[in-house]
Structure 1
Amino acid sequence: MKNIYAIGVGLIGGSLAIDIKKHRPDTVIHGISRKDATLNKALELGLIDEKATLDDIENADLVIVSIPVDATVKLLPTILDKISDTGLVVDAGSTKEDICKVVENHPKRRNFLAMHPIAGTEHSGPTAAIEGLFVGKTNIVCEVEKTTFKLQEKALKLFTDIGMRIRYMNPVEHDRHIAYVSHLSHISSFMLGKTVIEKEKNERDIFDMAGSGFASTVRLAKSSPEMWTPIFKQNKTNVIETLDEYINNLTHFKELMKDDNFEAIYEEMKNTNHIKDILNGII
């Protein structure tokens, strides 16, 4: 896979380009973006070797699509129309069901591999790209059986070479689980930030009094709305279900507070501390 085309050269696409280039120095990375300024910045940073357009991807060994999920759904059939029989298209979207559905009957479905590398930061754009972002991270692959074996084999070898673990999951299951472990945490962060901004009108007070706990909790509120609004829209049903459960837990905690039942609050927190044992295998 020498000729790689990155559609989207921000945090995910750019970081993949860095790590692929590190492990496969002879690879040529071609960048595709709606904005020429984005491609110029990617060139300046050394994320890509050349600018390209969609019409060029007939020459691609691998196309990596890392753009907002609504744009992926619209563009993916066209990308598959243009890919050669020996080329592979992968996407890195945070939702999988709608993306898989839009190409389920495409004549070149075998040339597509749906994936979701579980990695990222709150930053976006080419300047957000960093080396080693995917080391030790899980890459969820969906419907692998629908992709030509030789093509998936090459791609999965590439992704394991840059440090990712591969896990297989169906798209429906993926979207249900990711609503809990990713999408809900972003909503929680956005709404905590909103609550503080609305109540603490003096920005200096926020700056002076906010500790590292607050900063880490609202970190995700700095994430791109352009990226996250389509994710919430595509995974609406699952996200609403997780919100219902989260709100129920918040309401329960509030009632315990009102009842001065701090023994129960202690037990709630103690039982939840178990999460650190789970996360020790992730972080």
Structure 2
Amino acid sequence: MKNLYFIGVGLIGGSLAKDIKEHNPDVVIHGISRKDATLEQALSLGLIDKKATLDDIQHADLVVVSIPVDATVKLLPTILDKVSDNGLVIDAGSTKQDICKAVENHPKRRNFLAAHPIAGTEHSGPSAAINGLFKGKTNIICEVEKTAFKLQENALDIFKTLGMRIRYMNPEAHDKHIAYVSHLSHISSFMLGKTVIEKEKNERDIFDMAGSGFASTVRLAKSSPEMWTPIFKQNKTNVIETLEEYINNLSQFKELMKQDDFEAIFDEMKNTNHIKDILKGIS
């Protein structure tokens, strides 16, 4: 693969571009964005070699789509219209059902690989791109059987070179599971931040008392609303289900507090400590 086109050169797209370029110095990275200022920044940071437009992707060996998921749903059919018969298109969206459905009957469906590299930070934009973001991280691939075998192999070679672990799921299972382990975490963080900001209006010292525990828990509230609102919209049913379970657990905890049943609270926390065994080795 020689000519790579990145539609979206923020945290995910930019980090992928940096790592691919590091392992393959001869590739030419082209950047596509609706904002020229974003491309200028990506050029100045060395994330891309050239600016490009959608019409240019007819020359692409690989197209990486890392834009908000609602924009991906709208744009993906057009991207597949323009890509050559030998070109591979990969998306990196945090939801998969709507994206896969958008191109399920496209004549070039075989040229598309639906992926979700589970990696990132709370930052966004080209300046957020970092080397090694994907090393040791899981990359979930959906409907792999619908992608041409040779193009699958090309994608897997890239993912393995970057140190990713590969998991295969159908889009429905992906969206259901990711609602628990990612989407709920972001909602919790946003709402904790909201609660503290509202309280801070009356108690000016609250942030002076905030320690590393608060900072780490609320970190995800710095994430881009432009990216996360479409994710919640596309995965609405699963997100609501997870929220109902989460709210139920919070309500039960509150009732135990009201009843002074701190033995039960201890047991709840002790049982939940098992999460450290489940998450062992995840940084």
TM class by smaller structure: over 0.9
Partner of 2:193: 193
Give the CA deviation at 1:48.
Answer: 0.2
Partner of 1:158: 158
Identity of aligned residues (%): 85
Give the CA deviation at 1:203.
Answer: 7.7
**Deviating 4+ runs (over 4 angstroms):** none
Partner SS, residue 218 of structure 1: helix
Partner of 1:207: 207
1:88-237 to 2 correspondences below 5 Å:
88-201=88-201, 204-237=204-237
Counterpart amino acid of residue 53 in structure 1: T
Moved more, 257-266 or 155-164: 155-164
Partner SS, residue 121 of structure 1: coil
CA shift digits 1:16-54 (9 cap, x unpaired): 000000111111100000000000000000000000000
1:41 and 2:41 are equivalent in the alignment = yes
- Once residues 271 and 111 of structure 1 are traced to their aligned partners in structure 2, the CA distance between those partners, rounded to angstroms, is 46
- Once residues 235 and 153 of structure 1 are traced to their aligned partners in structure 2, the CA distance between those partners, rounded to angstroms, is 29
1:254 and 2:254 are equivalent in the alignment = yes
- Once residues 47 and 193 of structure 1 are traced to their aligned partners in structure 2, the CA distance between those partners, rounded to angstroms, is 32
- Once residues 75 and 260 of structure 2 are traced to their aligned partners in structure 1, the CA distance between those partners, rounded to angstroms, is 55
Partner SS, residue 246 of structure 1: helix
- Once residues 89 and 52 of structure 2 are traced to their aligned partners in structure 1, the CA distance between those partners, rounded to angstroms, is 16
- Once residues 23 and 135 of structure 1 are traced to their aligned partners in structure 2, the CA distance between those partners, rounded to angstroms, is 13
1:239 and 2:239 are equivalent in the alignment = yes
Give the TM-score of the pair, scaled to structure 1. Answer: 0.99
CA RMSD of aligned residues (A): 0.8
- Once residues 94 and 86 of structure 1 are traced to their aligned partners in structure 2, the CA distance between those partners, rounded to angstroms, is 26
Unmatched segments (≥5 aa) in structure 1: none
CA shift digits 1:183-208 (9 cap, x unpaired): 00000000000001111216852331
- Once residues 159 and 94 of structure 2 are traced to their aligned partners in structure 1, the CA distance between those partners, rounded to angstroms, is 17
1:76 and 2:51 are equivalent in the alignment = no
Partner SS, residue 77 of structure 1: helix
Partner SS, residue 89 of structure 1: strand
Unmatched segments (≥5 aa) in structure 2: none
CA contact (8 A) 2:39 2:51 kept: yes
CA contact (8 A) 2:200 2:207 kept: no
Give the CA deviation at 1:61.
Answer: 0.3
Partner of 2:24: 24
Partner SS, residue 43 of structure 1: helix
- Once residues 224 and 61 of structure 2 are traced to their aligned partners in structure 1, the CA distance between those partners, rounded to angstroms, is 30
Instruction: Provide closer, same or farther for how the CA distance between residues 282 and 5 of structure 1 changes in structure 2, counting only shifts above 3 A.
Output: same
Counterpart amino acid of residue 13 in structure 2: G
- Once residues 122 and 206 of structure 1 are traced to their aligned partners in structure 2, the CA distance between those partners, rounded to angstroms, is 22
- Once residues 11 and 47 of structure 1 are traced to their aligned partners in structure 2, the CA distance between those partners, rounded to angstroms, is 11
Partner SS, residue 281 of structure 2: coil
- Once residues 281 and 216 of structure 1 are traced to their aligned partners in structure 2, the CA distance between those partners, rounded to angstroms, is 18
- Once residues 2 and 159 of structure 1 are traced to their aligned partners in structure 2, the CA distance between those partners, rounded to angstroms, is 16
Partner SS, residue 46 of structure 1: coil
Give the TM-score of the pair, scaled to structure 2. Answer: 0.99
CA contact (8 A) 2:62 2:89 kept: yes
Partner SS, residue 198 of structure 1: helix
Partner SS, residue 116 of structure 2: strand
Counterpart amino acid of residue 218 in structure 1: V
- Once residues 206 and 29 of structure 1 are traced to their aligned partners in structure 2, the CA distance between those partners, rounded to angstroms, is 46
- Once residues 282 and 151 of structure 2 are traced to their aligned partners in structure 1, the CA distance between those partners, rounded to angstroms, is 29
- Once residues 85 and 204 of structure 1 are traced to their aligned partners in structure 2, the CA distance between those partners, rounded to angstroms, is 61
- Once residues 234 and 248 of structure 1 are traced to their aligned partners in structure 2, the CA distance between those partners, rounded to angstroms, is 23
- Once residues 167 and 157 of structure 1 are traced to their aligned partners in structure 2, the CA distance between those partners, rounded to angstroms, is 14
CA contact (8 A) 2:62 2:87 kept: yes
